[in-house]
């Protein structure tokens, strides 16, 4: 699960996913546009094809007596239809006269029947320039009662019957109608689109592949740079930690011991003294003890103690020690985290340290509570004050930089860090992390 | 004939009904064959059958002489559908015309006529389907 999460956070994976999604959207978009264009082109082709059939094949082949209903003329035109007209996706041929009578159809049951012609058909029939029209076939129309239940497109074009002398195209106008199956048109569309689809898919695929490779290289460089920076930071932190540890040790072994000894000596003197001297000595002892507490808190801040689940309550007590000096009523309540790992305890302590420090510096609070408890298999830390509060959305980065810095640490450990605050309502910092 | 005997009656029916139904010579359930007449020694015959919504017509003239040129015509319901010229060929000295026509409403009648002008022979055959 963690590996999958890490993979999903990878910029390369995110780019690849975004790229593929974009590619899919582009493909769908171009497919829709291509299909629409190809459909229009196919219809135009069907109209052009019908016009060509009508003018070049049908009209010269119309027998003189076809209009009169001569059976022999029908047979001869039927032969032309079978051989030369019902090709290239043409499913049906009809030849209408101006009254709406079908004078020929390859469906012989329609021959001689009369149907009402639509305005578009009449316009083509009577147009001096001919023209064509294409429309979807209405299978419910009586003239289509013998058509199979498949989608078709019917295309009309004007032709002329021969005159009485047999001169082709010199007689009255007729309406030539050809039916195309939508399947054949869609097949034509597919053939038309396929090359463009390959080009689009190939180009975009190559683009995504090249960009992914470049991003992978860049990511590796950035990751290496980040690793190097982290190594340097760790080295710096380690050096700083060693320096702080040395300072803390020197203070503890030197100044603190000296002060403790001096306090002990003065206490002994105070016990033997009397009068005003005794009072001065006792006051000096109190002052020295306060200084000792302050120093210990400072030592804790300079270098955290060796933390464990058992020592966490005492470490937190040391953290809030300076609160008393600033007039803040501080409490620590540790009921959880007994079985927590060293890393979890350190995280709890560091967040508590930052939160307590912020409260004492900025909150002007009267009360501060630090609570550590268990919630299922999680450890929860809540540092709450009743101070002035603030708007987390408008927080100055320099003021709360410490908590912001800890946030990434908390997230890396699989925990969450919440800041609940508003002007005048105090502040609660809540950490929840695995034990 | 004594038709009171059931066995004899069944025998009569079994023989008579197919004979009555056969009529013209038929090669299949739909195909109709007819033989026509010629003014000379030639022979003419015609076959007609329904096929895929159309009618297939096949007419043959056999004059027993190779190389004769005959003029022919095919009429469908009285109207001239096709006409042309054909040459008799070996080995039998015959020619065959094959055409496909519409299947008109009702009965379709066909008349095939062939004429050999040099000899004056005329052959005619009719078929209905």
pLDDT tens-digit profile of A161-182?
A: 999 888 988 899 999 999 988 7
For B79, the closest of A71, A79, A108 (CB atoms) is A71
Q: How many CB pairs under 8 A join A and B?
A: 41
Q: How far apart are the first and last CA of chain B?
A: 36
Cβ pair A71:B104 closer than 8 A: yes
Judge residue A99's burial from the number of C-beta atoms within 10 Å of its C-beta, 0-12 exposed, 13-18 middle, 19 or more buried: exposed
- Please choose, from the candidates A15, A14, A9, A104, the residue with its C-alpha nearest in 3D space to the C-alpha of residue A54: A104
A90 neighbors A105 (Cβ within 8 angstroms): no
Cβ pair A111:B102 closer than 8 A: yes
Beta-carbon count within 10 A of B122 CB: 17
d(CA B26, CA A106): 28
Q: A111: which chain B residues are within 8 Å (Cβ-Cβ)?
A: 102, 104
Give the tokens for residue A352. Answer: 């508590």
Cβ pair B75:A72 closer than 8 A: yes
A429 interface with B at CB cutoff 8 Å: no
Question: Smallest CA–CA separation between A27 and chain B, in Å?
Answer: 45
Q: What is the layout of strands, in order, in the sheet containing A378-385?
A: A329-334, A367-375, A378-385, A427-434, A416-421
SS3 B72: strand
Give the tokens for residue B119. Answer: 């000899």
d(CA B64, CA A256): 144
A78 interface with B at CB cutoff 8 Å: yes
d(CA A174, CA A164): 15
A64 interface with B at CB cutoff 8 Å: no
Q: Please name the residue ranges forming H helices in chain B.
A: 6-22
Parts of chain B with a pLDDT under 50:
1-4, 6-28
Cis omega before residue A278 (within 30°)?
Answer: no
d(CA A132, CA A395): 73
Q: What is the pLDDT of residue B15?
A: 39
Task: Indicate the Cα dihedral angle A351, A354, A367, A378, nearest 10°.
Answer: 0
Nearest chain B residue to A104 by CA: give it: B102
Question: Smallest CA–CA separation between A198 and chain B, in Å?
Answer: 42
Beta-carbon count within 10 A of A398 CB: 6
Judge residue A56's burial from the number of C-beta atoms within 10 Å of its C-beta, 0-12 exposed, 13-18 middle, 19 or more buried: exposed
pTM exceeding the 0.80 threshold for the entire prediction = no
Give the tokens for residue A421. Answer: 């605050």
Beta-carbon count within 10 A of A271 CB: 11
Mutation target to probe the B interface, by most B beta carbons within 10 A, among A67, A68, A74, A75 is A75
Q: What is the pLDDT of residues A349-396, one digit of tens each?
A: 888 988 898 888 888 999 999 999 999 889 999 999 999 998 887 765
Name B128's bridge partners.
Answer: B109
The dihedral region occupied by A159, where left means phi > 0, alpha psi between -120 and 50, and beta the remainder, is: beta
Residues of chain B whose beta carbon is less than 8 angstroms from a beta carbon of chain A are 53-54, 75-82, 99-105
Nearest chain B residue to A69 by CA: give it: B79
Cβ pair A78:B102 closer than 8 A: yes
Give the tokens for residue A70. Answer: 């001569």
Q: B53: which chain A residues are within 8 Å (Cβ-Cβ)?
A: 108
Parts of chain A with a pLDDT under 50:
399
Nearest chain A residue to B73 by CA: give it: A72
- Please choose, from the candidates A88, A274, A316, A302, the residue with its C-alpha nearest in 3D space to the C-alpha of residue A187: A88
d(CA A396, CA A362): 12
Question: Smallest CA–CA separation between B47 and chain A, in Å?
Answer: 17
Cβ pair B81:A65 closer than 8 A: no
Cβ pair A72:B53 closer than 8 A: no
């Amino acid at each position: 699960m963690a590996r999958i999460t890490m993979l999903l956070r990878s910029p390369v994976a995110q780019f690849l996913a975004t790229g593929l999604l974009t590619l899919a959207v582009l493909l769908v978009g171009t497919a829709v546009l291509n299909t629409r264009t190809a459909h229009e082109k196919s219809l135009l082709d069907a109209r052009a094809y019908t016009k060509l059939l009508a003018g070049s094949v049908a009209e010269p082949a119309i027998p003189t007596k076809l209009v009169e209903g001569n059976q022999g003329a029908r047979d001869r035109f039927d032969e032309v239809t079978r051989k030369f007209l019902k090709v290239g996706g043409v499913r049906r041929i009809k030849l209408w006269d101006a009254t709406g009578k079908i004078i020929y159809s390859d469906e012989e049951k329609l021959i001689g029947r009369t149907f009402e012609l639509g305005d578009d058909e009449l316009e083509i029939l009577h147009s001096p320039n001919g023209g064509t029209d294409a429309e979807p076939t209405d299978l419910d129309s009586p003239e289509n009662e013998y058509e199979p239940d498949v989608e078709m497109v019917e295309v009309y074009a004007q032709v002329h019957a021969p005159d009485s002398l047999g001169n082709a195209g010199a007689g009255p106008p007729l309406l030539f109608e050809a039916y195309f199956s939508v399947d054949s048109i869609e097949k034509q569309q597919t053939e038309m689109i396929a090359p463009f689809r390959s080009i689009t898919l190939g180009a975009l695929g190559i683009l995504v592949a090249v960009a992914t490779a470049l991003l992978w290289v860049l990511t590796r460089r950035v990751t290496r740079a980040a690793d190097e920076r982290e190594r340097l930071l760790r080295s710096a932190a380690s050096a700083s930690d060693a320096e702080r540890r040395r300072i803390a040790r020197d203070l503890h072994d030197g100044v603190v011991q000296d002060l403790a000894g001096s306090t002990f000596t003065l206490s002994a003197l105070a016990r033997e003294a009397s009068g005003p001297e005794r009072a001065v000595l006792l006051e000096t002892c109190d002052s020295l003890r306060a200084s000792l507490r302050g120093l210990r808190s400072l030592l804790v801040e300079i270098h955290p103690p060796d933390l464990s689940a058992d020592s966490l309550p005492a470490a937190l007590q040391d953290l809030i020690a300076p609160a008393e000096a600033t007039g803040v009523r501080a409490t620590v309540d540790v009921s959880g985290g007994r079985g927590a790992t060293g890393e979890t305890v350190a995280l709890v302590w560091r967040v508590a340290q930052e939160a307590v420090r912020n409260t004492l510096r900025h909150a002007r609070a009267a009360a501060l509570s630090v609570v550590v408890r268990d919630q299922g298999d999680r450890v929860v830390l809540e540092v709450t004050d009743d101070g002035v509060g603030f708007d987390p959305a408008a927080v100055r980065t320099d003021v709360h930089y410490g908590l912001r810095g800890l946030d990434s640490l908390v997230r890396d450990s699989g925990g969450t860090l919440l800041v609940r605050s508003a002007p005048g309502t105090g502040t609660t910092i809540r950490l929840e992390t695995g034990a | 004939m004594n038709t009171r005997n059931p066995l004899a009656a069944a025998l009569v029916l079994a023989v008579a009904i197919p004979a009555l139904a056969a009529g013209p010579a038929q090669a299949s359930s739909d195909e109709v064959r007819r033989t026509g007449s010629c003014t000379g020694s030639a022979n003419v015959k015609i076959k007609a059958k329904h096929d895929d919504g159309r009618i297939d017509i096949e007419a043959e003239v056999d004059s027993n002489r190779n190389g004769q040129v005959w003029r022919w015509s095919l009429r469908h319901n009285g109207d001239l559908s096709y006409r042309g010229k054909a040459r008799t060929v070996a080995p039998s000295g015959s020619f065959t015309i094959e055409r496909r026509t519409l299947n008109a409403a009702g009965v379709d009648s066909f008349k095939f006529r062939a004429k050999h002008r040099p000899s004056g022979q005329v052959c005619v055959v009719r078929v209905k389907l």
